[in-house]
Amino acid sequence: MTDSSNSQRNQTMGLDLGWVQQIRVNRNAADRRAASLVNRRGVKKEYQAAWLLKAIECMDLTTLGGDDTPGRVERLCRKALQPLRADLQHALGVQKLTTGAVCVYHEMIAPASRVLAGRLPIAAVSTAFPAGLTSLETKLREIELSVAAGASEIDIVITRQHVLTGNWQVLYDETLAYRQACGNAHVKAILATGDLVTLENVARASWVCMMAGADFIKTSTGKEGVNATLPVALTMTRAIREYFERYGFRVGFKPAGGVSSAKSALQYLTVMAEELGREWLEPQLFRIGASSLLTDIERQLEHYVTGNYSANHRHALP
């Protein structure tokens, strides 16, 4: 079982407002670096297969639809426990493989728990996901209920207006309250970066959430017009690296929304490896928010094993 509790948690720091306000991001440099990742020659053959298996291990297999049912969530959880077809797993010599976690709405924690029975973490989206526009009291109660129901990770959404108006103290206080409400459950702070306008806002929001004790920072809800992008990932991972250098605590990173192909998953793995290092290439510190991604990874792995691409319908859907 992969359990995020195996890693040392981030600690709450005081808000260093002077540090936050002086942060600058060179947009052109970030775009050039992102373009270099896209255009470079990718890993091939057995190396690509190994990286794709790592992507599965670091996946938050997700269903966040208004039409979710207990049956759909139970199928998702069974898929999380055996994400690859048995014949492919045997051909690749893999003994044990699961995704990193399952991510669902609060109402679907119970059916997820029935299938997973503690074998994988359950992440619940919370705090009025995806917009976050309800009272703080309501959002804190939602967190408490999800933790009590069995969620070991809480994906909270920040209030974007605090970033857009530069109200960093209120954002810090809000995130700190979420951290306290989560107790032993890990906090994954969703920045909704597509709504934040600038990379400087992304970097500053990353720092404020980390100072308030977030265990992960996450790009998106998947519901914004623009979700995970490589320039945003570079900005957030560099904030994580500087935070570690300054305070000594490793914070995780989760790109989510639009990461639907094996190629894009490999790009984010490359960002993690090159910007943060090998220590971050584990589920305790890296997750990919995904629903359709797993099907494409399975197809790529079948091509590696057999030399042929298969149709999507040959791979069980979550």
Q: Is residue 244 part of a domain?
A: yes
Q: Is residue 123 part of a domain?
A: yes
Identify the pLDDT of residue 308: 84
> Is 223 an annotated catalytic residue?
no
Find tokens 């806002």 and name the residue.
Answer: 201
Q: Is residue 298 part of a domain?
A: yes
Backbone angles phi, psi at 14, to 5 degrees: -65, 150
Give the helix ranges, DSSP H, for the chain.
17-21, 27-39, 45-57, 70-81, 86-91, 109-116, 136-149, 160-164, 168-182, 199-211, 230-247, 262-275, 293-306
Residue 250 · residue 244 · CB < 8 Å: yes
The arithmetic mean of pLDDT across residues 88-115, rounded, is 97
Identify the pLDDT of residue 309: 75
Q: What is the pLDDT of residues 232-268, one digit of tens each?
A: 999 999 999 999 999 999 999 999 998 999 999 999 9
Q: Is residue 152 part of a domain?
A: yes
> Is 173 an annotated catalytic residue?
no
Q: What is the DSSP letter of 256?
A: B
> Is 218 an annotated catalytic residue?
yes
Identify the pLDDT of residue 312: 66
The arithmetic mean of pLDDT across residues 166-187, rounded, is 98
Q: Which long-range contacts (CB under 8 A, 24 or more apart) does 31-37 make?
A: 31/231, 33/231, 33/234, 34/229, 34/230, 34/231, 34/234, 37/230, 37/267, 37/270, 37/271
Q: Is residue 111 part of a domain?
A: yes
Q: Is residue 60 part of a domain?
A: yes
Identify the pLDDT of residue 245: 97
The arithmetic mean of pLDDT across residues 276-283, rounded, is 96
Under the banding of pLDDT at 50, 70 and 90, the label for residue 40 is: confident
Least confident among 42-46, 212-216, 298-302, 314-318:
314-318
For the chain, the residue count is 318
Contacts of 182 (CB under 8 A, 6+ apart): 143, 147, 154
Peptide bond into 130 cis (omega under 30): yes
CATH code where residue 277 lies: 3.20.20.70
Q: What is the pLDDT of residues 104-122, one digit of tens each?
A: 999 999 999 999 999 999 9
pLDDT at 3 over 60: no
Query: Which is the catalytic residue, given 60, 155, 195, 215?
Result: 155
* Choice between 310 and 129, residue whose per-residue pLDDT is larger: 129
Least confident among 5-14, 141-150, 186-195:
5-14
User: Chain centroid to CA 285: how far?
Assistant: 9
Structural domain range at position 184: 28-305
Under the banding of pLDDT at 50, 70 and 90, the label for residue 310 is: confident
pLDDT at 5 over 50: no
Identify the pLDDT of residue 42: 75
Query: Which is the catalytic residue, given 54, 188, 254, 296?
Result: 254
Residues facing residue 154 across a β-bridge: 124, 187
Q: Is residue 114 part of a domain?
A: yes
> Starting at the edge strand that comes first in sequence, how are the strands of the sheet with 186-190 ordered?
252-254, 216-218, 186-190, 153-157, 122-125, 101-104, 59-62, 288-290
Query: Which is the catalytic residue, given 54, 139, 188, 218?
Result: 218
Show the CA angle centred on residue 181, arms to residues 98 and 128, nearest 5°.
75
pLDDT at 192 over 50: yes
Q: Is residue 134 part of a domain?
A: yes
Residue 85 · residue 313 · CB < 8 Å: no
pLDDT at 79 over 50: yes
- Mean of the per-residue pLDDT values for the chain? 94
- CA 308/CA 304 separation, integer angstroms: 8
pLDDT at 317 over 70: no
3-class SS of residue 51:
helix
Find tokens 């197809």 and name the residue.
Answer: 299
* Choice between 6 and 29, residue whose per-residue pLDDT is larger: 29
Least confident among 68-72, 218-222, 312-316:
312-316
Contacts of 248 (CB under 8 A, 6+ apart): none
What is the number of domains present in the chain?
1
